[in-house]
Structure 1
Amino acid sequence: MNNFSKITYLTAVWLLALSASAVAEETNSEKLPSVSPQFGIQYTTEGSGFESLGSLDAFVPVFQTNGKNVTFVQGRLFLDNDSEMGGHVLFGHRIYNPEKDQVVGTYIAYDGRDTEENYFKQLGFGFESLSKVDFRANAYLPLGDSRQQVGNSINTGTAVFSGNSVFAQQLRSFELGLHGIDAEVGTKLARLGSGDLRAYAGGYYFSAGGKEAFGWKTRLEARPTNFVGVNLSLQHDALFDTKAVVSVGVNFPGSGAKRGTKQNQNWARMGSFVERRTTIAVTNDTQLGLSAALTNPATGNAWNIIYVADTGNSNGTVESPYGFDKFSQALEDAKGKPGSLIYVRSNINENTLPAFEIPNLTEVASSLTRRTIDTRELGIVGLPFADLDVFSTTIQGDFTLKSNTILNGFTVNGTVLGQNISDVDIINNTIQDGEGINLTNATGKVNITNNTILNSQANAIIISNDSGNAEVAIQDNQINNSFGGVQVRAFDDAKVNSNITGNTIQDTSLAGIGVEFNQNSQGNVNIADNTISNVVLDELSDGIYVELFDNASADNISINNNTVSDTTGRGISIANFAENIGINLAITGNTVNRSDAEGIGVEGINGTTGVSNNTVKDTLSEGISLQQINGTATISNNTVENAAGSGISVTDSVDNTNLAITANTVDETDAQGIAVEGINGTTTISNNTVKNALDEAINLTNATGTVDITNNTVSDNQGNGIAINNDSGDTEIAIQDNQISNSLGVTTAVSENTQVAIANNQITNDLNGTVIDLSGTATASAQISNNTITGFNSGVFVAAGDVSDVDNLDITNNQITGLLDNLSQGVTVQVFDDAKVNSNITGNTIQDTSLAGIGVEFNQNSQGNVNIADNTISNVVLDELSDGIYVELFDNASADNISINNNTVSDTTGRGISIANFAENIGINLAITGNTVDTTGAEGIAVEGINGTTEVSNNTVTNGSSKGIGLTNNTGKVDITNNIVTDNQGNGIAVNNDSGNAEIAIKDNQISDNQNGAVIDLSGTATASAEITNNTITGADNGVFVTLADDSQLDNVDITANFIDETFLAGIGVEFNQNSQGNVNIANNEISNVEFDEFSDGIYIELFDSAATDGISILTNTITNTTGRGISVGNFAENTETNVEITGNNIDTTDAQGIGVEGVNGTTTIINNEINNAVDQGIYVEDQTGSENITGNTVTNTRELE
């Protein structure tokens, strides 16, 4: 409701109230009956043409003659259920006839009503007669426009073509204020309380704008008091149907209130409210028509469609098109109305138009294309005749485009040309036998879509720009048998963004799709969902190529989901020869089959390169090749099969490149599966599957920076599973968690600074497990750990040469299982030239090798340290050189420290542990401690040529076919302590020297069931001092056996505190031969059960030839049960001044003399000995020269002393 009408209604009611009060005061003194003012409040339910509402009513007498007539004003203000207001102001006059008790009145009224959308007003007139029979008649006349529009909707499903325009069906909605009349007649039925009950019947007629309501109504009116009134009505008509309406009202001070003398009953009705319609009757109406001409949202103007048909002969409208012979007139019309569409329909085949030039801002379209147009009002609308059987229209000759033009749905026998144009569309055409589409400097939006191009003598589509900006869309075209496919070229300062998608291109000589940027041009490229096949001429006949030259740039190049097959060049080629940075390249989801060059080739990108989810098969070169890539490059989730070159190749990318080659599958390549060469930065090769390569599966050459090769699966390759060859640059290499089988293993060859970690790999049935080859000036550290290696020649092989330096070589916790049919070795470290290697070989499990389990070699001038610890080695089986562990030094090589600790070695046909120094060096510190060696074909532990400190301690050596512990020509300090040596077929512990000087200690060992227990054998020019102490020796030919020959010299030998039991030849035996010499101290030993023959002595010392000794001491030993002498000293040599002291010994039960001394030519002292149960003499001295002192001895149960 408008504010003016609200104020009007409220003011009218307020004035009525004031008037009522004033009139009431004026009539208080009158004696004749009068009419008093009153107010009413009323609620009425919904009725015909109105909503339910509540009202405030006022009745005010203005002029009256008491008892005769009254002129009054009646006002009403209401509010309906939609919160809309209305009301009326009514002026009436009533006359009372007392004789007939009849009231007759007339009125004129002004009504107003707000709806949600409009405001209606009307005049009302009425007549009433109230007596025994009541009659009322009312008329309602609208003021102003009684038909007012409330809505306007367009039918979006239907377009109407008329003339050269297109319209929409439009539905308009109206509200109608009805005019009409109503009348009723009625009478009193009965008294009701202090009032009455009346009944009425009548009819009505309302109409407006063709809407009519002609109906009947009935009404009951009950007034039980002067203050309360109730109305119930029922009405029916065709417009509003049947309505039941209830109205309840309350009046103050009461209807018909009167003052003065009593009057007849109808006098009270002089002050009642006039009975008429509550408010203006309003109904709704709709009207269907046409909208204004629909507009083209691209231009903002109404569509202008010029119709041409082969059957037309008139003015170019839809009703009467131009004929083909008047096509030029259609072009003239279009020139006059830019933005026009010339719509051509051919009802017969082979209709032809001559070559023509399309005007600016014009589209020429064939109805063959089922053309639609875009409208601002309805959206997309189909043009007429689209469902008819129509044919293509042929344009004979070259067709020339202008700016803002469209060619749609024609056959062009020639070339589509455009020069210096903008915003063109070439869609749904067949273009043949010319030079396809040739556009020069086509700027703005260039759309070439859904065309078929046949037999083009040049490129089927070529766009060449040297200025301006262009957005090029070339999509869903079919190109067959043309010299070239699609080419977009940018020169100078042109900017061209190319979107080339969904095209099918086959049988071309030049590239299927090519995009070039030259000089300072720039742009973006998207080439997607194209199918290209049979591009055949030479090595430059690529399926897809993008190239940049000079200073050109492209922010984004995207090559996605294309299918390329049978090319003599690359399948996909991206080459940046320009000086630029920041290119983002994505080559994703493509399929390339049968290319004579690389399947995918990329050169010179220096931004972000992504090659992913592509499938490349049957190439005559590399499957995927990246060259000179800088920045970030990712090659992932590709499948490459049957490539004549490498499956994936990355080369010459030396400027801080981050390369990731991940999750690819490479199968059947004639070269490497994955090859990386000349890259610097971070290289990650992970989660790839590579198989059936004729060369290495994964090969890196001069890949510097950080290299991470992880989680790859490599199988059935004729070269290495993984190979790294670096001769320059610093590198950190990690080769981890790979599965490698039926290949040549892992090879790393470097000559510069390198850190190598080879860990957690599974290597099966490979020629070599892991190989590291260091050369040049390489400074390296290497960790080879937690690998599982089975079936190989070399499980782990490390070679260092030149002046390389490996500060830390860790070979730890590997599981290595060889094949006995191969010449296999578990871990081998070889050092050459001037190289230096510190080796730490620990925690490995090695089995079933034919050569050594672990071997370390130093050659030439090499040097290093060795720690071999906590390894388990078993079943090393081939020949006598098949050692469990060996360390060897040759030439001038040196090793400061060699430590062989806590290893378990079993079942070898060679030595268990072998240390051999054949080099000319000094100062080696050797420790062989805590090892367990069982079942060897040669010595359990063998040491040769050590010239520093040798410690062999806490080892357990059993079941050897030769010596348990054998040391040969070891000089310096030699300690053999706390070992357990049992069941060996050779000597338990043997020290053999023929040169040099040694300090020998054999202490605290447990030696049992060996050939001899502890043996020292000196010959040549060897010199030594020896201590054989606190050993437990059982089950040997000789418990302790010391022999000297040639010119050897034993400055002092102490054989003390040993426990010796169950020997055959002697408990302790010492022999001097040739020119040897030395001093002997044998003390505090316990010797028992020396049993074989009469020569089986407890202790014997013998000198032969020219041998000599300054002194022999045999002190406080305990000897029992010998089949020979207890103690025997025999000097059969040519010498003088041999001094012998035999003191404090306890000898029991001997089959020969208790003590026998022969040929001593110096001082012989035999004192304080106890001899019991000697079968022969207790003490026997023969051929003695010099002084004798035989005193204090106790001899029992033997012959007397002689």
Structure 2
Amino acid sequence: MNKSAQTLCIGLFVFGTLTAPGVAQTTDTNPDASLSSSTSAADLKITPRFGVGYSTSGAGYDAFTNIEGFVPLLQSPGSTLTFLEGRLLIDNDADFGGNLLLGHRVYNPKSDRILGGYISYDHRDTGSSSFNQIGAGFESLGEIWDFRSNFYLPIGDTRQLAEESSVQNFSALTEPFFQDNFLVATGTQQRFESRRFEAAMGGLDVEAGVRIARLGATGDLRGYAGLYYYDAPESDDTLGWRARLEAHPNDNLRLGLSVQDDATFGTNVVFSIGANFPGTRPRGAKERGTSQQVAARLGESVSRQANIVVDEQFESESFTEQVTLKATNPETNEPYVFQHVNLGLVDGNGTFEAPFGTVQGAVAVAQADNIVYVQSGTNPGIPAFTIPDGVAVLSTALPRIIDTVEFGTVQLALSGSGLFPEVTGTVTLGNDTTLSGFAIANVTGNAIEATNLQNVTILDNRITNPTEQGIILNNVTGTSVIASNSITNSGLAGIFVRGSGTTQQELTLNNNTISGSGSQGIFFQVTEEAQQQAILSNNTVSNSIGQGIFIESSGNTRQNLAIDNSTINSTVLSNDGTGGQGILAQASAEAQQTFSITNSQINDSANSGLFVQSSESATQNFTLNSSTVSNSTGLGLLVQASGTTQQEFILNNSTINNTAIGSDGSGGQGILAQVSGEAQQTFSINNSQINNSANSGLFVQSSESAIQNFTLNNSTVNNSTGSGLLVQASGTTQQEFTLENSTINNTTVGSDGSGGQGIFVQANEEVQQQFTVTNSTVSTSAGQGIFVQGNDALNQNFIVSNSTVSDNVGQGISVQANGTTEQEFTIEGSTIERTQVSNDGSAGQGIFIQGNEATQNFSINGSTVSDNSGQGISIQGNDATQNFTLNSSQISNSTGTGGLIQASGTTRQEFALNNSTIDGTKLGSDGGGGQGVFIQANEGVQQEFAINNNAVSNNASQGIFVQANDVQKQNFSITNTEVSNSASQGIVVQANGTTQQEFNVENTTIGNSKDQGILVQANGTTQQEFSIDDTTINVSTGQGVLIQASENSQQAFRLRRNTISGTAFEGILAQGNDTARIDARVQFNSLNNSNNASGFAAIMNSNQNFCLQLDGNNTNTNFQLQRNAGTFQVVDRDSVEVNNTGVVNFTPTAGDFETVTVCPGE
């Protein structure tokens, strides 16, 4: 402590001592008073208390929490107090400190002041250092003014090393070279050392303060200002100032805020808060008016620096020396040790200067972490050898790059010679070993083998003609690497990795080239409870017999493999004709297998390019990403699941090209996905292409009790033979297939002339099948664009949505249900166009729907069917139950019929045509057809349908033709429909045989017909009942309405509120022939012709009865009633002319007609 600081400290201390009484005297107005009459000594007794507090960081200390206690030892209440005060301090890093203080205070009633002093012991642990300190202090407390001084003296080890670090930099003067068994370099080494010390600072602080304000009944706010001085060994002494506010809102709570500044610690703002229980004041001094307010402060805590102030000091120094350093392995932190071999020399001791002449000599002495470094020298052939545990055997053939602590990354001297030492026997690996840079040729047995050990690395070797495997790892655990090797003409597998028991394997195979293997190119196998994980990248496998890569998992194993950026070429069949797969992945028993192929190519396989098979209770997950499978024979990709297996297959951004039929005539599919037993299979194809398959591009098959879910998304199937997409389900299978945003193009027929469908979906037996086509295109198929068939299927649901089916042959969409099939399908928002006839000139329908004994429910909504060479839509029911609707659709430019609906046998058929357009139907090639809509029911059919709000126009024959032949029941209605520009009748309704037919035409417009607007015919023993109401017929070259009953038919009809004009013949003509019976009501019709034809005519040629109610009608010509045979009854005959507008002509005479009040059937 320097002299000026000592003087300042002594001066301040003396000044405080001398001025304390004077200050007290100025505040004491009653020096003789001791205790007031209302305050007893017991009321001023100080009691023990405890408290807690918190303070933010300050000069030389961190923020801390304190737990404190105050214990009176001796006291004369209101006069003297000896006390003990202690604190436990805990900083924010959970480092502990504390202090213990013994103090004594005296209250002077004359000066009304308290004088006190204390001695203390302090301790602080910074986390790096531990310090001790003793302290003392003096205080003078009054009602207005306070004065304090505190002294701090660290004891013991006051300066301690807290942290030390060292950094070495080596500057090589030479390239690393071999010396003895080490890799060394000569250079300059510079070492930098830095140290951080912590030093406890001793010193003093003084302050004086004044009360600024009173707070509540007992609280106050005081302000203080003072100086402090600290010093420590190896630190500059520090003189600073401090100003602070201290508030006591009540007797239990205290708040503090201080600002201080000095040259060492800078400016610090400190906030503190604390609470005591009970308060600091005695019970008798709680009220402001008590005369002993100063004496009550005897129990206040001492104000001092609670923490030992610690200064941080930093030192550093550097050293430089010339050294020769050994290269250190950063993984072991030990020097690299080399056992040198120069083949053909006399054995030395393995140093660089005296190398071994044989590999056997080096491996015999090598220890763990040694490197056997082999120069080719004079190489007569290295016999079989075993690598000890932890040893790496490296040749100088390739550049050897190693990491060192001292020199960074360096290339070993002599490496990169390009000379591969030849090994003629099996190399047996040990634990944690490496073999790199050797030519292993013509070995009897395995070229490289490892069994029941861990962690091997096999790099950059050339293996040729071993009689067994090129490399075999049997139960090798841990992490292993096989990289940059070439393996040619191995007798068995090029690389064979096997795990059994409870083995756990992790392997990496990179940049290997394998060709001409006698068995698999690469074979990974796990059995029992083994676990195997492998990454295969940038490998090439070619001309392997059996499989290019074979992956097999059985037992209760876990197998996870990934193939990336690899090529598998020209896999050939085994001698027995089996194998030939580019890649074969099999999982059985309870195995769990996960397998992926990315950015790879599989070419020219003699069998399937890729075969993925799961059986028994296995779980298999497979992904093919951004890869190509080309020129496979049999199948491009075969995926099979059986037993109770769960299999998931995902194909992304990949291409399957040019799959050929096998030599036995089978296969040829681009992809075949099969599931059987109780297996569950999920298959997804995304953003992929299947091109030029010799059979189906994609064949999806489910049988027995399997569950299959298949998705084709954003993909293309081009140039397939037989079927672009073939989906089959049988047994009790549950199958779901989704085709979305995809294209099926250019499917051709098979060599036998069959097939040619773009999509063929078939469900058999008790199958439940759901098939959806969305936003897709099916075009240029040599057969049907889409063919859906159900044979005794339990449930078949089919949806075509927002898709285009164009330029196909036979049918655009053909749907067939047979037997006990229950079939539901929807065509929505789709376009079916330009379907061509078959080679024999038949078919050509845009949509063909057929039900044979089955149940069918279907709808066609918002779709367009146009420019087809046959019917636009053809619907057939044979002993079936059919329910269907056509909504908001367009059928245009069809040939033969726009919409053909036929039912026969015991069919129950219900349908509706709503809000649709049928336009431009042409005649067939034989001159027949041409109807916009042709509806036919035969035999025992029950048929009900409605045609509502449609437009039927520009057809080459009838607009709508409805025919019933020996039908049990045919009921229909035509409402709110417009029929125009028909080349024959607008509407024809014909009933033959034993038909029972009911229909009504209402609110319909028929214009520009080349024959009758409406023709209704009843023949045989037909019973026909109909009405035509509120309909407009204009410009027909025949009658507006022609109604004929012949043979033994019975006809009852009602014609009301119709408007008929511009007809070339009668507006309405009703005619009874043979033995037919007619009951007619013709009312409120408007019949206007531009020629002399009758507005209404009724002719009775039958020998039976014709009853007519004619009233409310008007015509600009006449009404003609003619009886040529039988009985002709007229309701209110004599008033009929009055009841109508227009002349009524009776032929022969009115007397030949009977008058009745009502017709018999009314």
* TM-score calculated relative to the size of structure 1: 0.64
Amino acid aligned to 1:998: Q
Query: Pick from 1027, 1034, 1037: which aligns with 1:985?
Result: 1037
Partner SS, residue 780 of structure 1? strand
Where do 1:662-681 residues align within 5 Å?
662-678=686-702, 680-681=707-708
Q: Conserved in 2, the CA contact under 8 Å of 1:1113 and 1:1140?
A: no
Corresponding residue number in structure 1 for 2:473: 463
Corresponding residue number in structure 2 for 1:1018: 1072
Corresponding residue number in structure 1 for 2:621: 608
Partner SS, residue 1066 of structure 2? coil
Q: Conserved in 2, the CA contact under 8 Å of 1:553 and 1:578?
A: no
Query: Pick from 531, 538, 541: which aligns with 1:532?
Result: 541
- Structure 1 window deviating more from structure 2 (854-863 vs 1021-1030): it is 1021-1030
Corresponding residue number in structure 2 for 1:268: none
Corresponding residue number in structure 1 for 2:808: 766
Q: d(CA) in 2 for partners of 1:283 and 1:928?
A: 106
| Residue 960 of structure 2 corresponds to residue 913 of structure 1 | yes
| Residue 769 of structure 2 corresponds to residue 746 of structure 1 | no
Query: Pick from 710, 735, 753: which aligns with 2:740?
Result: 710
Corresponding residue number in structure 1 for 2:1127: 1077
| Residue 1016 of structure 2 corresponds to residue 967 of structure 1 | yes
Give ranges in structure 1 of 5+ residues lacking alignment: 1-9, 22-147, 177-281, 393-408, 1083-1110, 1143-1202
Q: d(CA) in 2 for partners of 1:1026 and 1:543?
A: 85
Give ranges in structure 2 of 5+ residues lacking alignment: 13-163, 195-314, 573-578, 661-667, 749-755, 836-843, 1158-1162
Q: d(CA) in 2 for partners of 1:880 and 1:921?
A: 27
In the alignment of these two chains, the number of paired residues is 822
Q: Conserved in 1, the CA contact under 8 Å of 2:1077 and 2:1102?
A: no
Q: Conserved in 2, the CA contact under 8 Å of 1:308 and 1:316?
A: no
Corresponding residue number in structure 1 for 2:981: 935
| More strand by percentage | 1
Q: d(CA) in 2 for partners of 1:1071 and 1:20?
A: 153
Could you tell me how far 1:358 is from its partner in structure 2? 4.1
Query: Pick from 437, 449, 463: which aligns with 1:439?
Result: 449
Amino acid aligned to 2:482: I
Corresponding residue number in structure 2 for 1:1003: 1056
Corresponding residue number in structure 2 for 1:542: 547
| Residue 431 of structure 2 corresponds to residue 422 of structure 1 | yes
Could you tell me how far 1:460 is from its partner in structure 2? 1.6
Corresponding residue number in structure 1 for 2:504: 495
Where do 1:287-326 residues align within 5 Å?
287-290=320-323, 293-309=326-342, 316=349, 320-322=353-355, 324=357
Q: d(CA) in 1 for partners of 2:379 and 2:347?
A: 22
Amino acid aligned to 1:760: N
Where do 1:43-192 residues align within 5 Å?
152-155=168-171, 159=176, 161-167=178-184, 169=187, 171-173=189-191
Corresponding residue number in structure 2 for 1:245: none
Corresponding residue number in structure 1 for 2:1007: 958
Partner SS, residue 595 of structure 1? coil
Partner SS, residue 453 of structure 1? strand
Could you tell me how far 1:531 is from its partner in structure 2? 0.9
Q: Conserved in 2, the CA contact under 8 Å of 1:373 and 1:381?
A: yes
Partner SS, residue 583 of structure 2? strand
Q: In the TM superposition, what whole-angstrom CA distance separates every residue of 1:262-284 from its partner, at most 9, and x where no partner exists?
A: xxxxxxxxxxxxxxxxxxxx998
Q: d(CA) in 2 for partners of 1:331 and 1:384?
A: 21
Q: d(CA) in 2 for partners of 1:603 and 1:778?
A: 32
Corresponding residue number in structure 2 for 1:811: 860
| Residue 971 of structure 2 corresponds to residue 925 of structure 1 | yes
Q: d(CA) in 2 for partners of 1:385 and 1:818?
A: 80
Corresponding residue number in structure 2 for 1:625: 638
Corresponding residue number in structure 1 for 2:1137: 1115
Q: d(CA) in 2 for partners of 1:317 and 1:1138?
A: 139
Could you tell me how far 1:741 is from its partner in structure 2? 1.4
Amino acid aligned to 2:520: A
Partner SS, residue 432 of structure 2? strand
Q: Conserved in 1, the CA contact under 8 Å of 2:484 and 2:513?
A: yes
Corresponding residue number in structure 2 for 1:386: 415
Amino acid aligned to 1:608: N
Could you tell me how far 1:609 is from its partner in structure 2? 2.0
| Residue 526 of structure 2 corresponds to residue 476 of structure 1 | no
Corresponding residue number in structure 2 for 1:701: 728
Corresponding residue number in structure 2 for 1:724: 761
Q: d(CA) in 2 for partners of 1:451 and 1:367?
A: 12
* TM-score calculated relative to the size of structure 2: 0.66
Amino acid aligned to 2:486: Q
Q: In the TM superposition, what whole-angstrom CA distance separates every residue of 1:1053-1082 from its partner, at most 9, and x where no partner exists?
A: 1222222225xxxx22222233x2131147
Could you tell me how far 1:659 is from its partner in structure 2? 2.1
Q: In the TM superposition, what whole-angstrom CA distance separates every residue of 1:782-824 from its partner, at most 9, and x where no partner exists?
A: 211211121111111211222x323x421122111124xx3x1
Q: d(CA) in 1 for partners of 2:778 and 2:738?
A: 16
Corresponding residue number in structure 2 for 1:837: 882
Q: In the TM superposition, what whole-angstrom CA distance separates every residue of 1:318-338 from its partner, at most 9, and x where no partner exists?
A: 56223527x76645543xx54
Corresponding residue number in structure 2 for 1:1057: 1112
Q: Conserved in 2, the CA contact under 8 Å of 1:665 and 1:689?
A: yes
Partner SS, residue 611 of structure 1? strand
Could you tell me how far 1:853 is from its partner in structure 2? 0.6
Query: Pick from 735, 740, 744: which aligns with 2:773?
Result: 735
Partner SS, residue 324 of structure 1? coil
Label 1:983 to 1:581 Cα distance change in 2 as closer, same or farther (>3 A). Answer: farther
Q: d(CA) in 2 for partners of 1:920 and 1:1073?
A: 31
Structure scoring higher RCO (CA < 8 A, sep ≥ 6) equals: 2
Q: Conserved in 2, the CA contact under 8 Å of 1:542 and 1:573?
A: yes
Q: d(CA) in 2 for partners of 1:149 and 1:973?
A: 111
Partner SS, residue 943 of structure 1? strand
Could you tell me how far 1:962 is from its partner in structure 2? 2.4
Q: In the TM superposition, what whole-angstrom CA distance separates every residue of 1:683-722 from its partner, at most 9, and x where no partner exists?
A: 2112111111111111211173432111111211122222
Label 1:961 to 1:929 Cα distance change in 2 as closer, same or farther (>3 A). Answer: same
Amino acid aligned to 1:911: Q
Label 1:297 to 1:919 Cα distance change in 2 as closer, same or farther (>3 A). Answer: farther
Q: d(CA) in 2 for partners of 1:858 and 1:384?
A: 93
Where do 1:573-612 residues align within 5 Å?
573-580=583-590, 582-604=592-614, 606-612=619-625
Could you tell me how far 1:171 is from its partner in structure 2? 1.8
Percentage of identical aligned residues: 20
Corresponding residue number in structure 2 for 1:650: 673
Amino acid aligned to 1:1015: L
Could you tell me how far 1:672 is from its partner in structure 2? 0.8
Q: In the TM superposition, what whole-angstrom CA distance separates every residue of 1:15-62 from its partner, at most 9, and x where no partner exists?
A: 8999999xxxxxxxxxxxxxxxxxxxxxxxxxxxxxxxxxxxxxxxxx
Partner SS, residue 1115 of structure 1? coil
Q: d(CA) in 1 for partners of 2:801 and 2:390?
A: 70
Partner SS, residue 397 of structure 2? helix
Q: In the TM superposition, what whole-angstrom CA distance separates every residue of 1:745-774 from its partner, at most 9, and x where no partner exists?
A: 112112331322211111221122212212
Could you tell me how far 1:572 is from its partner in structure 2? 3.3
Could you tell me how far 1:668 is from its partner in structure 2? 0.9
Q: d(CA) in 2 for partners of 1:289 and 1:160?
A: 17
Corresponding residue number in structure 2 for 1:69: none
Q: d(CA) in 1 for partners of 2:1140 and 2:1077?
A: 30
Label 1:688 to 1:1072 Cα distance change in 2 as closer, same or farther (>3 A). Answer: same
Label 1:794 to 1:656 Cα distance change in 2 as closer, same or farther (>3 A). Answer: same
| Residue 565 of structure 2 corresponds to residue 561 of structure 1 | yes
Q: d(CA) in 2 for partners of 1:740 and 1:1053?
A: 57
Corresponding residue number in structure 1 for 2:852: 801
Q: Conserved in 2, the CA contact under 8 Å of 1:487 and 1:514?
A: yes
Please identify the structure whose Cα radius of gyration is greater: 1
Amino acid aligned to 2:714: N
